Amino acid sequence: MKRIAVITSGGDAPGMNACIRAIVNTAYQEGIEVVGFRHGYRGIVDNLFQPLHPDDMRLVSQRGGTFLKSARYPEFREVETAQKAATQLNNHDISALVVIGGDGSFRGAAHLANYWQGQIIGIPGTIDNDLAGTDITIGFATAVDTAMEAIDRVRETAEAMARVFIIEVMGRQAGFIGLHAAISSAAEAMILPEMDPQPKLPELADNIKQARVAFPDSSYIVILSENLWPGGVHALAESLTKATGVTCHACPLGHIQRGGRPNAQDRILAMQLGQAAVSAILEGSSDVMIGLENEHVVEVPLHLTFDRDKPLAPRLVNLQLGLQGVNFTSKKVRKNA
pLDDT digits (tens, 9 = 90+) for 30-60: 999 999 999 999 999 999 999 999 999 999 9
- Mean pLDDT value across residues 293-316: 94
Are residues 82 and 42 both part of a single domain?
yes
pLDDT at 331 over 90: no
- Active-site residue (options: 12, 103, 128, 266): 128
Whether 103 and 248 share a structural domain = no
Domain membership flag for residue 181: yes
- The mean pLDDT value of the chain amounts to 93
Q: Are residues 268 and 126 in the same domain?
A: yes
Q: Which residues, 6 or more positions from 10, have their beta carbon under 8 angstroms from its beta carbon?
A: 40, 70, 72, 101, 102, 103, 104, 105, 126
Q: Is the pLDDT of residue 329 over 60?
A: no
Which band of pLDDT confidence, cut at 50, 70 and 90, is reported for residue 336?
A: very low
User: What order of strands is seen across the sheet that includes strand 119-124?
Assistant: 49-52, 33-37, 3-8, 96-101, 119-124, 288-293, 296-301
Residue 322 inside a domain? The answer is: no
Please check whether residue 334 lies inside any domain of the structure. no
Domain co-membership, 107 together with 220: no
For 123-174, the pLDDT digits (tens) are 999 999 999 999 999 999 999 999 999 999 999 999 998 899 999 999 878 9
Residue 150's CATH number: 3.40.50.460
The pLDDT tens digits of the residues spanning 175-213 come to 999 999 999 999 999 999 999 888 899 999 999 999 998
For residue 329, tell me if it sits in a domain: no
Distance of CA 178 to the CA centre of its chain: 11
Q: Region 260-278: what's the mean pLDDT? A: 97
Cβ atoms of 252 and 233 closer than 8 Å: yes
pLDDT band for position 220 (cuts 50, 70, 90): very high
**Catalytic status, residue 46:** no
Q: Which residue, 258, 274, 291, sits at the end of a domain?
A: 258
The answer on 287 and 153 residing in a single domain is: no
110 and 186 share one domain:
no
244-262 residue pLDDT tens: 999 999 999 988 998 899 9
- Does 337 map to a domain? no
Residue 232 has pLDDT above 50, yes or no: yes
197 preceded by a cis bond (ω within 30 of 0): yes
Give the chain's end-to-end CA distance (angstroms, integer): 75
The tens digit of pLDDT for each residue in 94-104 reads 999 999 999 99
Segment 59-73, tens digit of pLDDT = 999 999 999 999 889
Find the domain containing 43 and state its range: 3-139+262-307
Q: What is the pLDDT of residue 1?
A: 60
Residues 179 and 125 grouped into a single domain: no
Structural domain contains residue 335? no
**Which one of 197, 227, 258 terminates a domain?**
258
Task: For residues 148 and 61, state if they share a domain.
Answer: no
**Percentage, residues of the chain above pLDDT 90:** 86
Nearest to 119 by CA among 293, 274, 3: 3
Q: Are residues 12 and 126 in the same domain?
A: yes
> Both 34 and 78 in a single domain?
yes
Q: How many CB atoms lie within 10 A of CB 214?
A: 16
The pLDDT of residue 328 is: 56
The pLDDT value recorded for residue 324 is 87
Q: How far apart are CA 311 and CA 326, in angstroms?
A: 26
326: in domain: no
Tell whether 35 and 60 lie within a shared domain: yes
Alpha-helical regions (H) of 30-99: 40-45, 79-91
* pLDDT score of 327: 57
Instruction: For residue 84, give the CATH number of its domain.
Output: 3.40.50.450
CB 291 within 8 A of CB 185: no
The answer to whether residue 32 is domain-embedded is yes
The residue out of 200, 235, 258 marking a domain boundary is 258
Give how many domains the chain has, as a whole number.
2
Per-residue pLDDT at 241: 95
Residues 9, 131, single domain; the answer is yes
